[in-house]
Amino acid sequence: DCHLRFFHQGDRGIVGPAFAKPAFLTEFAHIAAIGWSRADGQVDWSCGGSLIWNNFILTAAHCASNEENIAPDVVRLGDLNLFSAEDDAHAQQLKIVKIIRHPLHGFSAKYYDIALMQLERNVTVHETVAPSCLWLDEEVRFRDLESAGWGQTGFAEDRTPILLKVTLNPLRNEQCTEHYTSSNVRGLRNGLSSHQLCAGDAKMDTCLGDSGGPLHVRLQHNYKVTPFLVGITSFGKPCGQSHPGVYTRVSSFRRWIIETMQSNGAPEVTDEQFEPYACALRYVHIRQLAVSRVVANETGVFETFDFTREYITRDFVQEAVELRWQNASAPANCMGVIIDHDTIVTVGDCAAHHGVRPTQVIHRVRTGYMPDDFAERAYEVKEVRVHPNHTDGSYYDNLAVVKIRGAFGIRPACIWNALRLPDQQMEITTVGRRDLNEYQYDSVTVYDSRLMRLIPRVFGYENDNCSLADQYRHNLSRGLQSEHLCFGNDPFLVPETCTLTNGGPLQRSLFRLDRHFKHVYALSLFGRDCGFGEPAVAVRLHPHLQWLESVLLPGHRKRTNDADDATNSDSIVFIDSELELLDRCDFHDGSVGLCVPAERCRGVYDRMLRHEAAIFCSNGSIICCAPRNIMDDSDLRDGIGEIESCPRNYGALRDHLATLPTEERPK
């Protein structure tokens, strides 16, 4: 009855729309064609590379000379078709003044295949010509990587004049040993090394002419995407035959790349400039839009940001709170959600961190229309109840109830009290770096590492398909259980763009009785990047309703079956998920009903209180209702009117009852 108790505070309006993943244009602003000039003025573009600094190209060491032992002398950027002048408006062609191969590279071997090429001057940075970032973490956790080049389109076929891209899947080196061993690949005496990376696809691979080209991933931030270079195309089997290719792993050469640039024309380079956040922000104003739409008018065609499909918003969530401790070593980013005027629910690890309980609950109150227009109000913690089965650090029964002194002055969130979710899309309240989340369009980048509240849109996944990082598995001795909610979204983010909080609510606005009410499904538990790219996990509230009721409603009748109530265990029955709104449904006694919204069926709440059988269609907001109990629009309006007039009709009676001794009040 949550939506009935707080009916007067329900919102009118629409719920946030769904969104999709678009395609983009200037994906390879960092790719460079590396060429050998001929006497007749033509250029043989036989290798690729990646711009990683304003005057440095990163490529394969074997591209330092051709079969005639001649070094390349020119690079071309910002040009997709090397043999046509139609797209040359932003092309830049510069001379190579120095080539530095890795000191351990030898042309007779396949190892340490990495080199830097210094250009005659800095490039002019533009939307079509801009340096790539480097992925310098040894873990490559991305499902898909992109590669591109002007190489052959298949075995014994001609090279393509137009830049082509392929999507590849990273593979463990052990999976590549059947293709690449010392016996079948010349120059691979010791097999594949840890500084080499395998990637392939059942239909596509890289070909001769793609050498030195990028293997990258595009990560989101600031409503934009930035390429991060993961590998350098090194060698492979004859192309077009679905063999995985071998790439030089960029992260293995972090120190060499930075120190080489510092000592060869780029002394301003620092290690911190290649941290993910710093590199992503360096040219944020010219990066591609993450979600966009094309607008055409008489002056031309433009790409603009589509706010209706953004992945992360900054909407204000009034039901979310933060927990704080007097101890400076207390955990950071602990949150909870208001479920009653003086009560929040959070995760157990936040409510009793190593036995130390929080001292304050911080609630933000909106003071204006902008996301930063709020005031913080602190409430003293009065009582903390941690789930009795929870142990510190465990991901099981990780739930707690916190009561405050005083009362929150807002409408609480409702708890979703059904097993099946009404919608797989939901919103999560969490935090992220301010400078990675604000739209930056000016050439002067603003750096601000402070955390700000974020509302990412995520989707619920089946627990059986929830692929978790190894670092979380040791706290899941029994694996994921029904109390866990696996969630996430497809795109990968620049690290620190979104940091999952402990206890942040996963919720959704649901339309009930012509008004919207926030319903909280679960509380965030663990995961990287808020579930973007790889799943995160939350603790669901529904499986813990019996314990929650024992804490919140100690005098309330238990939800579980009692010995004298044989029907209680069947009080809620979910039938086939294909049964939708307005479908026919059948009762146990053979009578026929209709699937309608629960608020349009008379007596539902009373039947639930009496623990009578109730059949729900698909989810907990649609119920199988006998035709005689279905309310039409006029009946529903009468019911809404009765709720609206309740305070006026019964206010005086309540005031009178409050003056009577408890024993004299009517039962």
Within a 10 A sphere around the Cβ of 262, how many other Cβ atoms? 14
b or e along 580-596 (b: 16 or more beta carbons within 10 Å of the residue's beta carbon)? eeebebeeeeeeebbbb
Query: What is the rounded CA–CA span in Å between residue 611 and residue 618?
Result: 20
- Report the distance separating Cα 374 and Cα 322, nearest Å: 14
* Catalytic choice (46, 50, 211, 251): 211
Helices (H), 341-387: 348-351
What φ, ψ does residue 292 adopt, rounded to 5°?
-145, 170
Cα 24 to Cα 447: distance, rounded to the nearest angstrom:
26
- CA torsion sign, 551 to 557 to 560 to 564? positive
Phi then psi for residue 94, to 5 deg, are: -130, 155
Confirm whether 211 is a catalytic residue. Answer: yes
Name beta bridge partners: 343: 340, 403
Q: 216 near 65, Cβ under 8 Å?
A: no
Residues contacting 419, CB < 8 A, separation 6+: 482, 542, 543, 574, 620
Neighbours of 481 (CB within 10 A): 14
Read off φ and ψ for residue 593, nearest 5 degrees.
-130, -175
From 30, 79, 102, 113, the catalytic residue: 113
How large is the C-alpha radius of gyration of the chain?
31
17, two tokens: 């729309």
- In this structure, are residues 147 and 213 in contact, taking their beta carbons and an 8 Å threshold? yes
Q: Rounded distance, CA 230 to CA 276, Å? A: 12
Contact between 197 and 244 (Cβ < 8 Å): no
The residue to which tokens 């990287």 are assigned:
528
Other CB atoms closer than 10 Å to residue 280's CB: what's the count? 28
Asked if 387 and 549 count as a contact pair (C-beta separation under 8 A), the reply is: no
C-beta of residue 245 within 8 angstroms of C-beta of residue 235: yes
Catalytic-role residue among 3, 30, 62, 611 = 62
How far, CA to CA in Å, does 250 sit from each of 138, 421, 648?
A: 9, 43, 71
- Angstrom distance (rounded) from CA 194 to CA 254: 14
What are the φ/ψ torsions at residue 44 (nearest 5 degrees)?
Answer: -90, 110
Which residues have CB under 8 Å from 618's CB, separation 6+? 420, 574, 577, 578, 579, 580, 581, 595
**CA-CA-CA-CA dihedral for 284, 288, 289, 291, to nearest 10:** -140
Give the other-Cβ count within 10 Å of 622's Cβ.
22
- Residue spans of beta strands (DSSP E) within 477-591: 484-488, 505-512, 515-526, 536-540, 572-574, 584-586
> Is position 62 annotated as part of the catalytic site?
yes
Hey, what are 157's tokens? 């076929």
Residues 586, 617: Cα–Cα separation, whole Å:
11
Which residues participate in catalysis according to the annotation? Answer: 62, 113, 211
